Structure 1
Amino acid sequence: MKRIVVEKKILEKNDDIANSIRNLLDKNHIFSLNVMSSPGAGKTTLIERIVEALKPEYKIAAIDGDLDTQRDAQRIAALGIEAVQINTSGTCHLDSSMVQKALNDISLDLDLLIIENVGNLVCPASFYLGTHKNAVLISTPEGDDKVKKYPTMFNIADVVLINKMDIAQFVNFNVEKVENEIKELNPNAIIFKISAIKNESLSEFINWIKKNIELLKHQ
């Protein structure tokens, strides 16, 4: 019972900070996206493609979460935008206090903030970060059984991106099965089938981001 009370208090504190972050982002008309997946699914490559597509038109910054190293933030910063790395030193997710601290190092003269969460299909689903939308990435080499095995993650997704579609046939990934399981679990989730590394079939997802940026800018 004590353990449950402690967990509840941790999540309540997290949500309070997250709501403050959300208010800050809304006040500055910054659309925010929390990108989550298992390790190696292609989050950083996807973010690179987003930045490449939208940088000519919008001001973008990124917060990258990982257990260690600066590699992800360095890759994103190389594209000419602000990028802050959060090293969690073993924690399997970002929480709102980490994001709040990282925001102190980012200019709020932005249109889009992308948060790359720690690679994990479990813990990040429980920690609201104040972002406007959640994007969950699943890659075909991981197998087509992930939706039912990790339902909480797919339940909170506004967008699910099935990545590495260029090799789906070679790894026996049943796309129809995965789409049906996502729709059964979360009928409101939008599904995009892409190949981030080959920059294929990304235009609809990029347009979805642009639409959300523009909606928030005019509120």
Structure 2
Amino acid sequence: MYGIDRDAIAVKAADQKLQNFRKQTRLIHASFSELHDLSDKWGNPGFDYIIADIGVSSEQLSCPERGFSFMNEGPLDMRMDPDRQHFTAENIVNKANEHDLVSILRNFGEERYARKIVSTILEERRKKTFRTTLELAELIKNVIPNKMKKKGFNPATRTFQALRIAVNNELQELTSLLEHTPSFPQTFRKACSNFIPLS
């Protein structure tokens, strides 16, 4: 069994859990887009199944230092692979132009108040630099109308999802995985978590 993850912490955790199966497993710190090259390096072993786990993990959300969650104070980071990625959510929030920010929130978060949120971000960042998750979450909370706030649903959810996807190029990574696996059945070419039979 081959396992790849762009999060080095996740690779280490998996290695510990699978320590009794090390002869049958191979774990690599890499991203979806690298699978094609890795497969060539391994001599094209072929895969009967691919499990693609898309999105953020509970471990990442529960670590404030990673900056994925709006529930705890942490840096606006959101990088899944901080050792190899340099572009953070802080960079996007503080430096992206209005058009790009609105596009990110709409396309990756389906945020109906994208323009209003971005307008407020642009206004506020003239006065200060956004550094933390709670700073941004509080701004969003104040922007979205009370009547649109659902019980049990944090108003910052969509924006944080959008920023995470943008920071980590998640859709591009998934597209690369699918494009370089031509034996995937056409019906399984979806941008979601799947257990995908390859034969």
Settle same-fold status: TM greater than 0.5: no
Q: Normalising by structure 1, what TM-score?
A: 0.26
Q: Normalising by structure 2, what TM-score?
A: 0.28
The structure that has the greater radius of gyration is 2
Counting strand residues as a fraction of each chain, which structure ranks higher? 1
